[in-house]
Amino acid sequence: MMNYNIFITCALTTFIGLAFMISSPMVVEGGVVPRRIINVMRLGAVPDGQTDASLPFQSAWASACSSLTPSTIYVPAGRFFVRSAYFQGDRCKNKAIRFVIDGTLLAPSDFRNSVWIKFEKVTGVSILGGFLDGRGTALWACKAHSGGCPAGATTLEFFDSKNIMITRLTSINSKKFHIVINACQNVNLQGITVSAPGNSPNTDGIHIESSSGVTVLNSRIATGDDCISIGPGSSNLWIQTITCGPGHGVSIGSLGWSLQEAGVQNVTVKTVTFTSTENGVRIKTWARESNGFVRGVLFQDLTMVNVQNPVIIDQNYCPGEHNCPRQMAGVSISNVRYDNIHGTSASEIGVKLDCSKEHPCSGMQMEDVNLSYENRPAHESCVNAFGATRGNCLI
């Protein structure tokens, strides 16, 4: 035991010494906080698109974490192959680590790993820039042509973390989800670009779950599944100035798979343009018993361009009609407001609120919702939805 401790201490001391040697001197940014710069190339990363930079990335992280000085991990321009990057913050002393990425990170093209870039239990991490290439095509082809393919890796995940900022990041062709925010608090995403083909399976743009205080601003998302998906246990979300398409829209759900499930509360989705998407704004719950809920949602200032289901609540989700013993949704939906939604529907029904018989939607509001289908007003269909009255939709 003793020897082991000594070994660790020595190794750590050597390592910290090394880290200081290879890192540039402190720089003063904005005249306030001196920052230490750790350049991954000085730790052995080679921008040839082939040499695995996983270890240099780990070393950079360990070096930043071991210090209290705000640190920048710098990834210069060029293509860096990264087999996997796992940034664990459990014992990280540093609460101000910034990644500045001028280069491209390339995922492995094979799909053995279930994780690509993951941060866990980190506080105060920011990412500025970066082009993440998930290289998903081989896995998508596998999923399209045969069964038994692995689910694939999320490109970038933050788990159990807080005070996170991601700015001007681009993610293309993820194997599975592009960006996942799970069990986090206070997360700010701005100027995100997501791009993958409209037929790439399970490539959600940004997935938020069990998290609170998440903001997504000024982002462009084109992908094969939901542009933004919101899972159970999410609250205080603000999503604004987004373009979505191709994709499946902005979706709260699927919710209500479990009997005991945390609810979704206080979500604002504002100023979004949907172009040729499957859905615009959707709330989707399983037709199963659940104590989950959705309450306090505002969908405002939305433009629909040729959208299949511009406004939809589907509480009867039960693909294949199995796993839903009573065919009734337990999740209750209340206080959802739709305000200023315009544009074109690609189907006859522009607004479809199909709520649960057992737990009808309540406190629904609709103002200035005007959708057309083939130059005529689109139809509306509401079942078990209550609130303000409007046309033949009792909402």
Q: By the criterion CB under 6 A, which residues form the site for ligand NAG?
A: 236-238, 266, 268, 370
Instruction: Give the nearest distance from C-beta 266 to ligand NAG in angstroms.
Output: 4
Query: Dihedral, CA atoms, 375, 377, 378, 380, nearest 10 degrees?
Result: 180
Is 225 a known active-site residue? Answer: yes
Q: Which helix (H) or strand (E) holds 392?
A: none
Question: Taking a C-beta distance cutoff of 8 angstroms, is the pair 145, 117 a contact?
Answer: no
**Residue closer to ligand NAG, measured from CB, 144 or 388:** 388
**Residue closer to ligand NAG, measured from CB, 185 or 362:** 185
Strand partners, 315: none
**Residue closer to ligand NAG, measured from CB, 16 or 349:** 349
Instruction: Give the nearest distance from C-beta 314 to ligand NAG in angstroms.
Output: 25
**Residue closer to ligand NAG, measured from CB, 39 or 211:** 211
Distance CA 281, CA 169 (A): 24
Instruction: Give the nearest distance from C-beta 190 to ligand NAG in angstroms.
Output: 14
Give the list of residues 6+ apart from residue 310 with CB closer than 8 angstroms, or none: 274, 279, 280, 281, 302, 304, 341, 343, 345, 350, 351, 371, 378
Q: Which is nearest to 253 in space by CA: 316, 203, 185?
A: 316
**Residue closer to ligand NAG, measured from CB, 46 or 298:** 298
Instruction: Give the nearest distance from C-beta 60 to ligand NAG in angstroms.
Output: 33
Instruction: Give the nearest distance from C-beta 361 to ligand NAG in angstroms.
Output: 20
Q: Which of 225, 226, 314, 359 is catalytic?
A: 225
Question: Taking a C-beta distance cutoff of 8 angstroms, is the pair 289, 259 a contact?
Answer: yes
Single-letter amino acid, residue 288: R
Query: What is the rounded radius of gyration, in angstroms, for the C-alpha atoms of the chain?
Result: 23
Distance CA 219, CA 222 (A): 10
Distance CA 143, CA 338 (A): 36
Is 248 a known active-site residue? Answer: yes
**Residue closer to ligand NAG, measured from CB, 216 or 385:** 216
Structure tokens at 310: 């511009």
Instruction: Give the nearest distance from C-beta 342 to ligand NAG in angstroms.
Output: 7
Q: Which of 178, 207, 248, 359 is catalytic?
A: 248
Strand partners, 158: 119, 181
Question: What is the spatial order of strands in the sheet that 309-317 belongs to?
Answer: 85-88, 115-120, 154-159, 179-182, 206-209, 228-230, 250-255, 279-286, 309-317, 349-354, 379-383
Q: Which helix (H) or strand (E) holds 139?
A: helix 137-145
Length, in residues, of the chain = 395
**Residue closer to ligand NAG, measured from CB, 208 or 364:** 208
Instruction: Give the nearest distance from C-beta 108 to ligand NAG in angstroms.
Output: 36
Q: How many CB atoms are closer than 10 A to CB 42?
A: 18
Catalytic residues: 225, 248
